[in-house]
């Protein structure tokens, strides 16, 4: 209830004292701004429609609800960036409330009022509206000022836009335009917010003699405070009226220009980020896209091969640099930044697909020309999915990289060092160039027979994997795991020489045809066996059988060795291990921790041994890749660059009194032992597989019967 006044009087004037020509001019400019905005929106939609149809937008409503929840809770934005995430939340909610408020004014003044005579923007509703708008403005300005402070003074390295994939002499090296755009975006919103407050304050001074305005000024606390300040400096109602006109037009032109430029600038991420989150594939880090290997071509070599979803993805990028910071290839000095790859695709799409007519001829994506993706950039990727995991707007860098790798493989454009590996995979089903008959030789070092799962039913089928079967160091772990399973009374078997690589890295280097051939053969073999579950010590194998084989009809219950060991300890099938007086740290394998969210089981096994577990600075879903994934274990690292494994070993070396760096993957074991040697830490701490540490706590002899023979029967990795 508003005393002493007609509720209709408690409102805000909009166009008072405006001559007809000025009012007409405003609406012409406003309609023009909306027209420019709508044309820009259409141009963006036209650009996306020039890509392939992905079908990534259905089912619509479940995807919409998931996207809406992520936008509201800001979970993806706050991860590993609490300050920036909180500031963005202030900006988002402040901007949203101000946008809704402006829309309400338009609805009342231009639609419901003139058409139906219904006005609701007055009285108590208006007062609460005014308070909400004032507080929303504070939220917006507070968030913007922090972002300015962060960019201008804190200057996190990931925001410097340094390009590792270009040299200064390249025409597309300089991205200072992006930096200018960022600052223009911040300043535009700051000025819109500040001029909005000033318009409000001079209105109050102008109408200070009207009790229906002045008596309720504190419902606009910021504007009222500024009005009191202006009065204190001697501003009169007449002066305020004149100043109001200048400020009103300044604020209006700024706001309308901002609206008009939304589809053409960074501001469009407001919409494209929502589209990207809505189209996001929750399995993008686990499962690579299916391809028709019988098609005339596979992979992405042309810009028009990219789907509409991926074109929205690249427009959604806010250049936050989190993927750039998380990428192990970038950290090691390789010519890859997931952010810059996405921005190059964006710039190429804007240049080639945004115009009314398409360029003549195919639009190549991979090459050395401006905004093209260079082959060496694609081959630098470890496919560790750190970029996909951390991206706050759901960009799927990894599937795009794999699709472009497929095109390179199709054209024969790959490192010749890969050729022997691919031939070995085709001929023998393993990447180490070994005769398949050697695969089960490690079993000869055991004092018991392992069941042949091809001929006898077993409870657990152990899919051993290439490195666990052939690599001399990994064989020791394999033998140890076999002894633990035997001690626990597990009825298990292996596939002996018929086992082939599961194909995880084969698919991720882009050899889709070979992957599908391996997958189909492996599924046929597995389907001919009788077992209840599959276990593997190799996270790469675990990921592919668990997440990619179902697309080919191979649906199996599978667990990683660490999960099985944790369960066996919990169920009492493995006696409680003895306490080990070690200080240890644990390296999460990418394909186990980040990609498959299996982070706790290995830690619970470690806790059962009574060790002093000290976490690495980057762990669980933020673990730093050892550098082996995506086929990079088959390619030598240039001597002038730091290996990811050396960076990881140096990180472990920072832990005082460390005794053991514990790993849980054959490839991680191989890479990190080299990393420890390369950093000169070989005498400071050991690298042990989780299984080996457990065997020590159980009192099992971890050594084969004949070390020399074991070494002779195994292969040294390329």
Give the SS3 label for residue 686.
strand
Q: Residue 710 has what pLDDT?
A: 40
CB 341 within 8 A of CB 373: yes
Closest by CA to 255, choosing from 203, 335, 188, is 188
Q: φ and ψ at 167, to 5 degrees?
A: -105, 155
Q: Mean pLDDT, 10 residues at a time, over the chain (718 residues)?
A: 65 88 96 98 97 91 96 95 96 97 91 85 92 97 98 94 94 94 97 97 96 94 97 96 96 97 96 97 96 95 97 97 97 97 98 94 96 97 98 98 97 92 95 95 97 98 97 97 97 98 98 98 98 98 98 98 97 90 98 98 97 98 97 93 96 98 98 97 97 95 49 37
Q: Compute the distance between CA of residue 573 and CA of residue 565 in angstroms, rounded to an integer.
A: 9
Q: Compute the distance between CA of residue 503 and CA of residue 507 in angstroms, rounded to an integer.
A: 6
Give the SS3 label for residue 2.
coil
Angle at 513 between CA 509 and CA 516, to 5 degrees: 95
- What is the distance of C-alpha 244 from the center of its chain? 47
Residue ranges of the alpha helices (H) in 150-220? Answer: 176-206, 211-214
CB 502 within 8 A of CB 518: yes
Torsion, Cα of 639, 503, 165, 175 (10° steps): -150
CB 579 within 8 A of CB 610: yes
Please tell me the number of Cα atoms within 13 Å of 528 on its side-chain side. 12
Angle at 66 between CA 387 and CA 598, to 5 degrees: 50
Give the SS3 label for residue 471.
coil
Give the SS3 label for residue 662.
strand
CB 660 within 8 A of CB 693: yes
Q: Residue 302 has what pLDDT?
A: 98
Q: Compute the distance between CA of residue 253 and CA of residue 258 in angstroms, rounded to an integer.
A: 8
Q: How many helices (H) and strands (E) does the chain have?
A: 30, 9
Q: What is the DSSP letter of 364?
A: B
Q: Compute the distance between CA of residue 506 and CA of residue 465 in angstroms, rounded to an integer.
A: 13
CB 256 within 8 A of CB 30: yes
Strand order in the sheet with 686-689: 612-613, 583-586, 660-663, 686-689
Q: Compute the distance between CA of residue 257 and CA of residue 34 in angstroms, rounded to an integer.
A: 9
Q: Which residues pair with 612 in a beta bridge?
A: 583
Torsion, Cα of 442, 444, 447, 450 (10° steps): 70
Q: Compute the distance between CA of residue 627 and CA of residue 667 in angstroms, rounded to an integer.
A: 9
Q: Compute the distance between CA of residue 675 and CA of residue 666 in angstroms, rounded to an integer.
A: 14
C-alpha dist (Å) from residue 234 to 210, 248, 505: 18, 21, 74
CB 589 within 8 A of CB 668: yes
Q: Residue 148 has what pLDDT?
A: 97
Angle at 671 between CA 670 and CA 675, to 5 degrees: 125
Longest alpha-carbon distance in the chain: 101
pTM more than 0.85 = yes
Closest by CA to 243, choosing from 195, 281, 191, is 195
């Amino acid at each position: 209830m508003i005393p002493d006044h007609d509720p209709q009087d408690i409102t805000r004037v909009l166009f008072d004292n405006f001559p007809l020509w000025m009012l007409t001019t405003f609406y012409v400019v406003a309609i023009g701004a909306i027209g420019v905005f709508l044309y820009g929106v259409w141009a963006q939609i036209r650009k996306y429609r020039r890509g392939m149809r992905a079908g990534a937008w259905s089912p619509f409503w479940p995807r919409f609800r998931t996207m809406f929840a992520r936008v509201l809770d800001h979970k993806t934005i706050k991860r590993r960036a609490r300050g920036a995430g909180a500031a963005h939340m202030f900006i988002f909610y402040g901007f949203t409330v101000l946008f809704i408020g402006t829309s309400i004014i338009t609805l009342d003044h231009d639609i419901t009022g003139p058409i139906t005579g219904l006005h609701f923007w007055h009285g108590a509703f208006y007062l609460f509206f005014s308070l909400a708008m004032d507080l929303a403005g504070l939220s917006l300005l507070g968030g913007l000022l922090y972002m300015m402070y962060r960019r201008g003074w804190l200057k996190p390295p990931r925001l410097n836009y340094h390009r590792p994939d270009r040299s200064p002499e390249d025409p597309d090296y300089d991205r200072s335009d992006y930096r200018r755009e960022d600052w223009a975006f911040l300043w535009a919103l700051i000025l819109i917010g500040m001029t909005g407050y000033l318009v409000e304050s001079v209105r109050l001074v102008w109408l200070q003699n009207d009790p229906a305005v002045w008596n309720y000024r504190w419902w606009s606390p910021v504007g009222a405070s500024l009005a009191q300040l202006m009065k204190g400096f001697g501003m009169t109602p007449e002066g305020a009226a004149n100043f109001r006109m200048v400020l009103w037009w300044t604020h209006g032109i700024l706001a309308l220009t901002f609206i008009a430029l939304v589809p053409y600038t960074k501001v469009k991420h407001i919409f494209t980020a929502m589209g990207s989150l809505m189209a996001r594939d929750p399995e993008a880090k686990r499962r690579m896209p299916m391809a028709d290997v019988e098609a005339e071509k596979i992979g992405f070599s042309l810009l028009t091969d990219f789907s509409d979803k991926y074109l929205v993805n690249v427009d959604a990028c806010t250049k936050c640099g989190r993927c750039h910071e998380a990428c192990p290839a970038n950290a090691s000095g390789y010519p890859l930044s997931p952010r810059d790859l996405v921005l190059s695709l964006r710039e190429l799409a804007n240049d080639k697909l945004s115009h009314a007519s398409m360029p003549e001829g195919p639009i190549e994506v991979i090459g050395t020309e401006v905004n093209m993706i260079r082959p060496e950039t694609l081959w630098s990727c470890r496919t560790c999915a750190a970029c996909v995991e951390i991206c706050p707007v759901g960009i799927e860098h990894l599937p795009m990289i794999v699709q472009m790798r497929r095109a390179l493989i199709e054209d024969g454009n790959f490192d010749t060092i890969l050729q022997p590996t691919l031939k070995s995979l085709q001929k023998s089903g393993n990447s180490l160039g070994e005769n398949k008959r050697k695969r089960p030789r490690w079993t000869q070092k055991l004092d018991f027979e392992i069941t042949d799962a091809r001929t006898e039913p077993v409870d657990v089928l152990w899919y051993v994997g290439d490195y666990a079967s052939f690599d001399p160091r990994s064989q020791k772990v394999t033998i140890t795991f076999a002894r633990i399973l035997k001690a626990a009374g597990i009825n298990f078997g292996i596939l002996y020489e018929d086992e082939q690589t599961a194909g995880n890295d084969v698919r991720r280097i882009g050899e889709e045809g070979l992957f599908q051939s391996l997958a189909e053969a492996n599924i046929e073999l597995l389907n001919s066996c009788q077992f209840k579950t599959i276990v593997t010590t190799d996270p790469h194998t675990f990921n592919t059988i668990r997440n990619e084989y179902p697309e080919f009809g191979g649906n199996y219950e599978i667990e990683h060795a660490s999960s099985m060991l944790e369960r066996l300890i919990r169920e009492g099938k493995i006696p409680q291990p003895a306490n080990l007086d070690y200080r240890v740290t644990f390296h999460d394998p990418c394909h186990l921790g980040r990609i498959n969210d299996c982070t706790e089981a290995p830690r619970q096994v470690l806790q059962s041994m009574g060790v002093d577990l000290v976490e690495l600075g980057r762990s669980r879903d933020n673990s730093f890749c050892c550098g082996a994934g995506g086929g990079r274990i088959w390619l030598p690292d240039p001597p002038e660059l730091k290996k990811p494994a050396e960076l990881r070993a140096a990180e472990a070396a920072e832990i005082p009194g460390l005794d053991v760096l514990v790993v849980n993957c054959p490839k991680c074991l191989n890479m990190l032992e080299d990393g420890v040697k390369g950093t000169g830490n070989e005498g400071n701490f050991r690298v042990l597989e989780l299984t080996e540490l457990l065997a020590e706590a159980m009192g099992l002899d971890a050594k084969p019967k004949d070390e020399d023979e074991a070494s002779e029967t195994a292969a040294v990795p390329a």
